[in-house]
Structure 1
Amino acid sequence: MTTIGFIGLGVMGAPMAANLVRAGHDVVGYNRSPGKVAALVESGGRGADTVADAVRGADVVITMLPDSPDVEEVVLGEDGVLAHASEGTIHVDASTIRPDVARAVADAARARGVRPLDAPVSGGEAGAVDGVLSIMVGGDAADLEEVRPVLEAVGRTIVHVGPSGAGQTVKAANQLIVAGNLQLVAEALVFLDAHGVDLEPAVEVLGGGLAGSTVLERKAAGMLSRSFAPGFRVDLHHKDLGIVLDAARAAGVAVPVGSQVADLVASLRAQGGGGLDHSALLLQVERLSGRDTELGREA
């Protein structure tokens, strides 16, 4: 049994923490919303009233927070993770943040004797619930191997991708690919519908060929049924694409398609779609095409 302090029990963090409990670990959870902590306690974990309470005595601390400023506050703050973690503790940041912030957090952790890993995840809420996330890990490879049995309770593909910050860089690339794929799936569905094609068998046959993808497999059905309950919110993908564009600019890399999709995501968010699943890019394509919000009906 490993004692794990888990900070951030949101859409992704809550099922991850629950899976760690089911794997037999002692999980002490903290979240700003007490109800999330209560849910973890009901599933067999322990609750903490503060970050300090979650961190004290933990062998591993996992943070799953919305954005870079949140990680800086919770980890680097006066009463944060590094202020209370014991020397030798492994800190796994599963949040999606800027690579430069990940490197700065890692430097601060090492200065306090804490072993940092930036380990953002991919797979959405479904992957978190099923414990099959893909985890891209930056930091010391030996630290990853030590904590791998913990991560195996929440992920299926766990890969060391380089030094501190590399995990976040790979996650940025992941979000670039996912956004582009979602946009093209949305465009394809509207295109097919405009020509009167039966959409479900069309998706089936597309999925069996080179056009097949995890995005098509997991998101097309929700697009067709117009179910946009958030597995991954537009707000968060908007934030992630900002990370992509900033990191690309810093490296002098052109991402023309990514930039255009980022604009479309920003537009959807500005029109009130920030709380929807990112597959709601379908709605944006329909509006641009002058079609109604129901497939099969023209405006």
Structure 2
Amino acid sequence: MRNQNTISKEISFEGSGLHSGKRSKITLKPAPENTGIVFLYNNAGLHEFIPYSPDYVTDTKNNITISNGRVIIKTVEHIASALYGLRIDNCIIEINSTETPIMDGSTKEFVRRIKECGIEKQLALKPEFVIVSPVWIKSEDKFIVILPHNGLKINYTISFPNSPIGTQNLTIEFSEKKYIDEISNARTFGFIEDLDEYYKNGLVLGANFENVHVFSKTENKVINGSRYNDEPVRHKILDLIGALALLPFDLKGYIVSYKGGHGIDVMFVKKILQLFAKKDKEQLKESFYSKNGYTYSNFLKLDDIQ
């Protein structure tokens, strides 16, 4: 296991929300050990804390939205991805709006300025969960599977037939350096032909050529240039890492994602969290039985500890 980390000092970011189009400011603040990532909505005298946890995810349509039942905060996956990519475990994110700023559509600016700000190592250790057998989650034609692996490895495939994106596949062995060099610069993307439909649903009201990697199906081309020849699949990995940040532990395994997205990413995280909770319960039972002079394996069907 590794030590937990927080940031060394406060740092702020401002910009427009991708879906709302409203101006937004977030301020990242250092947090004590075992705090996790916690959002603090602070506006017009209203102060509401929302932990970045699967229990608080309320929507996964084109973004990850969290809520405590009183306020909502949209598009939290990018800043969460940046923190996870830099191995920052404890941070308060104060926000004055209902959506985080999209910046340039990637996490590049978050990463650059957080690195400049500094990262502080803490004494407490970060828990980890090691996958020892395959775990699957499936939704329609999409799936995510995780296999045993000594580290975190991601293989991601996207498929957009009859478009300039086509099918893309990328495998990375996760590390802070890999995240910075190969993932953080990849922008959110979309097709210009889908704009009217998004507008009808109140989405991408803050989108423009400066914060979205735009493609045209009709013209079969990218409109505003590419940072990588496979930038879309890299951004999908960025989003998946933002979902992994919902977990209160480091995950060790080999993730294979096919046509993933926010919805199945969160489903996968919830599945992993259920397995972790089950493991903790079994360890608690084992401790209970051994303390009382019994062999745990003889009592696997009992449920003395609820």
TM-score normalised per structure 1: 0.27
Structure number with the higher strand fraction is: 2
Q: Which gives a bigger RCO, structure 1 or 2 (Cα 8 Å, sep 6+)?
A: 2
TM-score normalised per structure 2: 0.27
